[in-house]
Amino acid sequence: MSADRIPLARPALGEAELAAVRAVIGSGRLVNGPRAEQFEDMLAKLCGRRHAVAVASGTSALELSFWALEIGPGDEVLIPAFVFPAAAHAVVARGATPVPVDVDAGDWNLDPAAARAAVTEHTRACVGIDQFGLVTESAPLEQLARDAGLRIIGDSACAIGGSNSTGVAGGGYGALSILSFHPRKLVTTGEGGCVLTDDDDLAAAVRQLRNLGQAGPGQFARIGTNARLSEIEAAIGCVQLGRLDALLAERRLLADGYLERLAPLANSGRISPQHVPAGALHSYQTFVVLLAQGVDRDAVRAALHRADIESGPGTYAFTRLEPFSAFARPMPVSDALHDRSLALPLYSGMRSGELDRVAVALTEALASSETLA
């Protein structure tokens, strides 16, 4: 690997996190301790929620959310078609049916009108998606929930510290919402996740489910699983949350730098950035652009690779993935994003010169693609 290689992502970890880990190891308490409680308190306050329940991963948070809502066989759950497939996995694991719904062509979050049109007598829940860190405009989804008797699950895995145009925080909408602390997330604990809610009963259910169904030590109240977050992970998370404002400011500055450098490509129609509604605060967990129709994304990625720049797809239309092919149906926006969305490097510590390199390499790759066409 070249020393000049620009990675797609890099976790922002340092001496403070190491010190926190040493303190936990020295304490001898590795699970169900004060660091997890502190982490949960910080998350609940940040997201404006009554309860935060830290769990083993973002996927665990989704699985426990559907479990707590008693989603099961015969039930349908509306899911954005363009989304990392964790939510679809979690729905199928409950024996329910994931129903793909197309996303908006501008902000790439769930299209509320398409969701409303997809409701049937079997629909029990709808998953919102805060795509790449842009918190969904949640009011239309909340109205849909009231009109159709649904429960909303806010998938805010990428949106910690963000807010939508009306000030609703990532993790701050829905009967339940979830966060992820995967290494590519703005706040990472290695792995880890969180379920957030204002409902006392749902919070109690998730707490029991994550701890083998226990309402207290040895008080097995229900069937459950082991989805606890360790004290080591929670300690890292507390440190990360303590500098979240600085991490967010840096991300937004880098994203602004990209938008400035890539403006000629956007103005010429060769790329389209994600639309951010006025007043919304994007977390920029990932910086993604949509390549113009007819552009070969694989060829663009190969050109970036030759320039020692890592890239990736934005994410996936989950119905285009083999395990979910049975649920496939035409999804024009999601299919286009599946084929042509491009994630560019973005991480703490990235320098302006690296932004320059990416912008130049992408411009040259697109010019080459047009020449070949």
The pLDDT of residue 372: 54
Query: Residues 258-292: pLDDT tens digits?
Result: 999 999 999 999 999 999 999 999 999 999 999 99
Query: Residues 311-363: pLDDT tens digits?
Result: 999 999 999 999 999 999 999 999 999 999 999 999 999 999 999 999 999 99
The pLDDT of residue 368: 86
Q: Nearest 5°: CA angle at 323, between 72 and 272?
A: 105
Query: Residues 227-253: pLDDT tens digits?
Result: 999 999 999 999 999 999 999 999 999
Q: Which two three-digit tokens encode residue 32?
A: 């169900």
Mean pLDDT of 135-158: 97
Which residues have C-beta within 8 Å of that of residue 189, sequence separation ≥ 6? 181, 229, 233, 234, 236, 237, 240
Q: Nearest 5°: CA angle at 106, between 194 and 120?
A: 65
Q: Specify the DSSP element, H or E, that contains 126.
A: strand 123-129
Q: Are 66 and 94 in contact (CB under 8 A)?
A: yes
Average pLDDT, the chain: 97
Euclidean distance between CA atoms 91 and 95, whole angstroms: 7
Mean pLDDT of 70-86: 98
Euclidean distance between CA atoms 226 and 235, whole angstroms: 19
Q: Nearest 5°: CA angle at 66, between 124 and 196?
A: 110
Euclidean distance between CA atoms 138 and 154, whole angstroms: 9
Q: Label residue 33 left, alpha or beta by phi (over 0 means left) and psi (-120 to 50 means alpha).
A: beta
The pLDDT of residue 369: 75
Closest CA to 109 of 88, 79, 144, 145: 79
pLDDT band at residue 1, thresholds of 50, 70 and 90?
low
Q: How many CB atoms lie within 10 A of CB 249?
A: 11
Query: Residues 19-77: pLDDT tens digits?
Result: 999 999 999 999 999 999 999 999 999 999 999 999 999 999 999 999 999 999 999 99
What are the phi and psi torsion angles at 217 (to 5°)? -55, 115
What are the phi and psi torsion angles at 99 (to 5°)? -110, 110
Torsion angle of alpha carbons 8, 280, 332, 325, nearest 10°? 60
Q: Specify the DSSP element, H or E, that contains 25.
A: helix 15-27
Structural domains of the chain, ranges and CATH numbers in brackets: 15-242 (3.40.640.10), 244-372 (3.90.1150.10)
The pLDDT of residue 216: 92
Euclidean distance between CA atoms 271 and 262, whole angstroms: 8
Euclidean distance between CA atoms 233 and 237, whole angstroms: 6
The pLDDT of residue 371: 58
Mean pLDDT of 126-143: 97
Which residues have C-beta within 8 Å of that of residue 6, sequence separation ≥ 6? 308, 309, 310, 345, 350, 354, 357, 358
Query: Residues 207-230: pLDDT tens digits?
Result: 999 999 999 999 999 999 999 999
The pLDDT of residue 223: 97
Query: Residues 161-207: pLDDT tens digits?
Result: 999 999 999 999 999 999 999 999 999 999 999 999 999 999 999 99
Can you give the pTM of this predicted structure?
0.96
